[in-house]
Amino acid sequence: MKRDEAIELIRLRTGQDAIAGWDERIRLEMEMAQTSLEWDPVLPWFLLTINDTLSITANTESFTLPNGFLRLGSQGGLYRYDGGMDDPWVALQRDSYDNLKARKLGVGTVQWYAILGDKIHLFPVTEINTSLRIIYYQSGGSLANNTATNPWLVHAPEVLLHLTSARVDPNRAALWTSLAETEKSRIRIHEDSRHSDGILIRILPE
């Protein structure tokens, strides 16, 4: 679904189809609804992304978080590439910036990291050029363009449509919010199924 199709459907559902200039209000409310969704403590699978093209040069202390970074994935984090290992992606350990700074780790092979503000700080400071992989949740992105789409409108359009409807149709906000929560529950059930699909169940003998 594209943004303008979503706006048209919201206009029809909320009875705002005859009000001039309403499209821009709906667009802004849709972006606010998306921002609210992306602050949820549990984020959906379709926002999870992997970037293994990061490359930092020797003596790099920190680098800026990827565009649209929300938070690290529950099954991911930050990894360093080591071609001498059977599994070359070595998981780095996360700690607080203050704790790591106090340890005065100097320069060496990066083992730990901290997130502070919009940067990831590496400890020790890397002594060689290093490739990194980061697994994280990324924002669905802007809907500013009239033909734009994003993961919410592709994988969970009803959630975004219902929450936007609640903002533009306050008299029925409770109804729209309830419908959105039902859809969010369906997404979580679907995610659980994705994790368990293809896993062989082992039956222990009595």
Q: Is residue 200 part of a domain?
A: no
Whether residues 77 and 124 fall in one domain: yes
Instruction: Write down the pTM of the prediction.
Output: 0.85
Q: Is residue 205 part of a domain?
A: no
Q: What domain range includes position 65?
A: 48-137
Sign of CA dihedral 184, 48, 7, 35: positive
Cis peptide before 124 (omega within 30 of 0): yes
Domain tally for the chain? Answer: 2
Q: Encoding tokens for residue 48?
A: 């999870």
- Beta-strand runs (E) in 82-191: 89-91, 93-94, 107-108, 112-116, 119-123, 125-126, 130-138
Whether residues 119 and 68 fall in one domain: yes
Q: Is residue 201 part of a domain?
A: no
How confident is the chain (206 residues) per 10-residue block, as mean pLDDT? 93 83 91 95 91 92 94 86 90 95 94 96 95 95 86 95 96 96 85 53 43
Whether residues 157 and 109 fall in one domain: no
Q: Which of 137, 160, 181 is the last residue of a domain?
A: 137
Q: φ, ψ for residue 59 (rounded to 5)?
A: 70, 20
Whether residues 149 and 132 fall in one domain: no
Q: For 57-79, write each residue's pLDDT tens digit.
A: 999 999 999 999 999 987 779 99
Whether residues 9 and 90 fall in one domain: no
Q: Is residue 182 part of a domain?
A: yes
Whether residues 95 and 66 fall in one domain: yes
**pLDDT confidence of residue 202:** 45
Sign of CA dihedral 67, 72, 75, 80: positive
Whether residues 68 and 131 fall in one domain: yes
**pLDDT confidence of residue 189:** 75
